[in-house]
Structure formats: structure tokens, C-alpha cells
């Protein structure tokens, strides 16, 4: 079936991009289809804080009348409300910044627009991209969390309101909502994407990435954000041209905390990839990653949000206040020691890829938790974020409550294009 025979709002980003480049479909029709879907669903899902409908339609008409601008020509996209936008307010998920209008786009937003993407709206972020839940609900079951802190972006892509959306990760804020919402989430290698114009929490950890409904989708987005065209190379997504990757099954030292759903996904993956995988344990020097990530995040976030803590404490949630107070209790000498240890641990982690191309690891403890009191535990993401490694969540099964479950693939630092190629190869086998 030709891609244009599929409902427009259901097209994967790469399918829509190819159809737009061929002029088989028009951007204005794709934007309208996404806006119609938002009109039908967002009153329940609450993925957006602000829409840009009129400006998006006007830009789409201009794009349809002119030359193809770039990899994302004519594609609607959403932006987490942690990234500045010159034409829409940016509140960072906090009442402190309600109505704030930036003067310029964040670098990641500007790059997407330059590549021809059409900004459809700002998506919900949890409070200052921390753990306190926002209003967004899981589109698969409105009584469950979509994860956080990139909750609105993940929910919008999962519910076919958008083909692509930007998010950020400091602990597990790309991989976890992708897992809970059953889509592909991509966290690039640390520092591959400029963080200019993004509310800072942790210089050591903050990473900009995004969401799509296929590996090829996030490859397009990744190529634009990093400037590395290899991430969108069609050969990366031609399984007949890709050599089978050497895959290490890495349960991590926290495997005992994974519930029955994640363990079942693990068994399914082991079976589907039989002959291509080898069980690997993390070396002892990497067993303290989770605790160290928590300490680094607390220290740096407490200082990044020092103004908010000093002058607007009454507008901060109790959990965030507790984190900030915890972070201020960590002294600079301890933090310096932690950063030295991280540098060593990143060197140790590089050795994991001497005999393997990628690591397959848990993404979450299990399915999305019920209710909106929590965004879920980022336990299985913290260590990889601390190490700065590129990660991609691959959805492929369902848990006991019928909600999405999957696993994440982790790549060698700055080897994002090979990670995406391996992820496509692996995902095809997991979803057969």
C-alpha cells in the first residue's frame, strides 16, 4: 500500500518526508490532519500547552509552494516546553515562568525549522523537567502515566498527533516516556546536540533528543540535530545491507528490580535474537552508576535552579524542593570527586564495545504506573545517561495490563549512526 493511502496523521515521519519530497502529499494537508487529531484527542490526553495552528498552516502553504528545504521539509513537530521558541511562550512546566516569551529559538528548534519542519505547538513538560507529574495522560490508557519529564512530546507522537517531537533527558526523560507510550525514543551521545536555549538542570547530564514511531524517524531528526547525515542514511535502514550487529544482553546490576513485564520482554528478545546475542555483566567498576548519577544530578540541579529556590520556593513542589535541598548538602569537593569518577567510568564503559557493537538493556521497571502521582522510576536509564552513551528505546510487546513494554539499545559514545542501524536491524526482528 502506498504511503499516501494511509491516513496522513498515521504516517511515520520518514514516510511523510518521502511523500512530501515527491509532492505526493502536501504539508498543509498533513498539518491539518495532525490538528484534527489533536482536536479529537487532546482534551483527554493533554499533550499540549500551546498550539501554533494558524502560523503552522501558513508556513505549510509556503513550503508547498516552494522548493524542498531539508530533511524535515513540511513535517509537523512538537517542542517540549523546556526549549525556547521565539513565537510561543516557554514556561518550563512551572508557574514561575507562566507567559514568558523568549526572544529566540533554542538551537535544536532553529535547526528543525531550518530543515523545513513546521512547529505545531509546545508540549507538556513536568515541573522544570523534574519528577513531579504534569497533566498529560498515557494515550494507551488515560488512567496511567505517560512518563516524564518529556511527557507531552511522547504522548503526542504515540497518539499520532505529531510524527516527531523534541524532548530532553537528564535521568530517563526520553527513554522512559517512550517506553510507557510505546514509541521510539532516541537520546543522542552527550554533547552531540547543542543545549543553547534549553533550561539547564545539569551540564554533565542534560541531553536533547526526540521521539518518532520508528527508528528511521528518529534517524531523520537526529541527523538534523547533530548535523551528522549518516544518521539518516537510507542504507542504515536496509536490513539486507546491514551486517548483523554483535549484541550484548546487559541486564545491569539492578535487574532484580525489573518486574514480570520487563523480564518477559527480556525473554522474548533473547529468543528473537538467538544466535546474535551474548549475556554480559557490567564490570564491578560500573556498579555504582545509579547512585553517582543521582548525586551529580542533585548537585548540579540545585545550583542551576538556585534562583528559583531562593526567590520562588513557594511555587515549587515539595519533591523538587527536597531534591534541591539534598543537592545543596553535597559539597563541591564531593562533586569534583564524582566527576573524576565519571571520567574513569566512561573509559571503562568504552571497553564494553571492544567485542560488541551494542548493548541491549531494560528501559523501565515495567509498564507505565497507574495514576498521575508518579512519572515512574528512571532506574534503568540513569547509568547510561551518566556515561553519556547514545540510547534508543524499542517498543515490541505488551505487559499484563496491555500497556507497551520494550527494551533499550545502547551504543558506543559518538557512534550514534551505527546504533541506529543496529536498532533498525534489532527492531525488525523483535516485531516480527
Residue 3 has pLDDT above 80, yes or no: no
CA gap 335, 81 in Å, rounded: 29
CA gap 188, 215 in Å, rounded: 13
For CA atoms 54, 83, 156, 14, give the dihedral sign. Answer: positive
- Between strands 358-362 and 277-279, the pairing is unpaired
CA gap 310, 300 in Å, rounded: 15
Residues 323-369 pLDDT 10s: 999 999 999 999 999 999 999 999 999 999 999 999 999 999 999 99
Task: Determine which one of 27, 80, 122, 363 is catalytic.
Answer: 80
Q: In sequence order, what are the residues at sequence separation of 6 or more whose Cβ sits closer than 8 angstroms to the Cβ of residue 428?
A: 239
**In which residue are the cell numbers 509552494 written?**
65
pLDDT band at 257 (very low <50, low <70, confident <90, very high): very high
pLDDT band at 246 (very low <50, low <70, confident <90, very high): very high
CA gap 145, 140 in Å, rounded: 10
Residues 363-394 pLDDT 10s: 999 999 999 999 999 999 999 999 999 999 99
Using an 8 Å Cβ cutoff, are 107 and 348 in contact? Answer: no
Which domains does the chain show, CATH number per domain? 3-237 (3.90.1300.10)
Taking residues 305-325, report their average pLDDT: 98
**What pLDDT, on the 0 to 100 scale, is given for residue 2?**
46
Q: How deeply is 286 buried, as exposed, middle or buried, from its count of CB atoms within 10 A (0-12, 13-18, 19+)?
A: buried
**What pLDDT, on the 0 to 100 scale, is given for residue 14?**
98
173 labelled catalytic: yes
Task: Determine which one of 125, 173, 202, 363 is catalytic.
Answer: 173
80 labelled catalytic: yes
CA gap 392, 406 in Å, rounded: 11
Alpha-carbon torsion, ordered 367, 92, 174, 350, to 10 deg: -130
Which grid coordinates are listed for 46? Answer: 493533554
Task: Determine which one of 149, 151, 202, 363 is catalytic.
Answer: 149
**What pLDDT, on the 0 to 100 scale, is given for residue 5?**
78
Task: Output DSSP code: residue 71.
Answer: T
199-203 own/partner pairs: CB under 8 Å, 24+ apart: 199/82, 199/92, 199/128, 199/129, 200/304, 201/128, 201/129, 201/130, 201/170, 201/297, 201/300, 201/301, 201/304, 201/305, 202/170, 202/296, 202/297, 202/300, 202/301, 202/304, 203/300
**What pLDDT, on the 0 to 100 scale, is given for residue 241?**
84
199 labelled catalytic: no
CA gap 198, 175 in Å, rounded: 19
pTM: 0.98
Residue 320's φ and ψ, nearest 5 degrees, are: -70, -40
pLDDT band at 4 (very low <50, low <70, confident <90, very high): low
Residues 175-212 pLDDT 10s: 999 999 999 999 999 999 999 999 999 999 999 999 99
Q: In sequence order, what are the residues at sequence separation of 6 or more whose Cβ sits closer than 8 angstroms to the Cβ of residue 101?
A: 89, 90
**What pLDDT, on the 0 to 100 scale, is given for residue 240?**
84
Q: In sequence order, what are the residues at sequence separation of 6 or more whose Cβ sits closer than 8 angstroms to the Cβ of residue 331?
A: none
Residues 119-178 pLDDT 10s: 999 999 999 999 999 999 999 999 999 999 999 999 999 999 999 999 999 999 999 999
Round the average pLDDT of the chain to a whole number and report it. 97
- Between strands 247-249 and 358-362, the pairing is parallel
- Tell me what percent of the residues of the chain surpass a pLDDT of 90: 97
Using an 8 Å Cβ cutoff, are 169 and 125 in contact? Answer: no
Pick from 170, 247, 250, 236: nearest CA to 209: 170
Tally of CB atoms within 10 A around 295: 20
332-336 own/partner pairs: CB under 8 Å, 24+ apart: 334/295, 334/299, 335/295, 335/296, 335/299, 335/300
CA gap 204, 388 in Å, rounded: 8
Residue 63 has pLDDT above 80, yes or no: yes
**What pLDDT, on the 0 to 100 scale, is given for residue 151?**
98
The tally of CA atoms less than 13 A away on the side-chain side of residue 27 is: 29
pLDDT band at 1 (very low <50, low <70, confident <90, very high): very low
Amino acid at each position: 500500500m502506498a504511503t499516501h493511502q494511509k491516513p496522513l496523521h498515521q504516517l511515520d515521519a520518514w514516510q511523510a518526508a518521502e511523500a512530501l519530497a515527491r509532492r505526493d502529499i502536501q504539508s498543509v494537508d498533513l498539518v491539518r490532519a495532525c490538528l484534527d487529531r489533536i482536536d479529537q484527542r487532546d482534551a483527554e490526553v493533554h499533550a499540549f500547552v500551546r498550539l501554533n495552528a494558524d502560523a503552522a498552516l501558513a508556513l505549510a502553504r509556503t513550503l508547498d509552494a516552494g522548493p524542498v528545504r531539508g530533511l524535515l521539509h513540511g513535517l509537523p513537530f512538537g517542542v517540549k516546553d523546556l526549549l525556547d521558541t521565539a513565537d510561543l511562550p516557554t514556561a518550563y512546566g512551572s508557574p514561575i515562568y507562566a507567559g514568558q516569551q523568549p526572544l529566540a529559538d533554542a538551537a535544536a528548534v532553529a535547526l528543525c525549522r531550518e530543515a523545513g519542519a513546521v512547529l505545531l505547538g509546545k508540549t507538556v513538560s513536568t515541573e522544570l523537567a523534574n519528577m513531579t507529574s504534569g497533566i498529560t495522560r498515557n494515550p494507551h490508557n488515560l488512567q496511567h502515566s505517560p512518563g516524564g519529564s518529556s511527557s507531552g512530546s511522547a504522548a503526542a507522537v504515540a497518539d499520532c498527533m505529531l510524527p516527531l517531537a523534541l524532548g530532553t533527558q537528564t535521568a530517563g526523560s526520553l527513554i522512559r516516556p517512550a517506553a510507557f507510550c510505546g514509541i521510539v525514543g532516541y537520546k543522542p551521545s552527550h554533547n552531540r546536540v547543542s543545549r543553547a536555549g534549553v533550561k539547564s538542570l545539569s551540564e554533565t547530564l542534560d541531553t536533547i533528543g526526540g521521539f518518532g514511531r520508528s527508528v528511521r524517524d528518529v534517524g531523520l531528526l537526529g541527523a538534523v540535530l547533530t548535523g551528522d547525515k549518516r544518521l539518516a542514511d537510507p542504507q542504515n535502514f536496509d536490513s539486507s545491507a546491514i551486517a548483523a550487529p554483535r549484541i550484548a544482553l546487559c541486564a545491569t546490576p539492578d535487574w532484580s528490580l525489573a518486574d514480570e513485564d520487563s523480564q518477559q520482554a527480556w525473554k522474548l528478545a533473547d529468543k528473537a535474537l538467538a544466535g546474535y546475542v551474548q549475556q554480559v555483566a557490567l564490570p564491578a567498576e560500573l556498579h555504582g552508576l545509579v547512585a553517582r548519577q543521582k548525586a551529580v544530578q542533585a548537585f548540579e540541579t540545585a545550583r542551576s535552579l538556585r534562583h528559583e529556590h531562593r526567590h520562588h520556593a513557594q511555587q515549587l513542589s515539595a519533591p523538587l524542593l527536597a531534591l534541591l535541598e539534598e543537592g545543596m548538602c553535597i559539597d563541591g569537593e564531593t562533586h569534583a570527586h564524582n566527576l573524576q569518577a565519571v571520567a574513569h567510568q566512561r573509559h571503562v564503559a568504552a571497553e564494553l564495545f571492544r567485542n560488541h557493537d551494542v548493548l541491549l538493556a531494560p528501559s523501565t521497571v515495567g509498564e507505565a504506573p497507574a495514576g498521575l502521582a508518579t512519572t515512574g522510576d528512571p532506574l534503568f536509564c540513569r547509568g547510561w545517561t551518566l556515561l553519556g552513551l547514545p540510547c534508543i528505546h524499542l517498543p515490541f510487546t505488551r505487559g499484563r495490563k496491555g500497556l507497551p513494554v520494550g527494551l533499550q539499545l545502547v551504543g558506543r559514545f559518538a557512534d550514534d549512526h551505527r546504533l541506529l542501524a543496529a536498532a533498525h536491524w534489532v527492531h525488525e526482528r523483535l516485531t516480527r
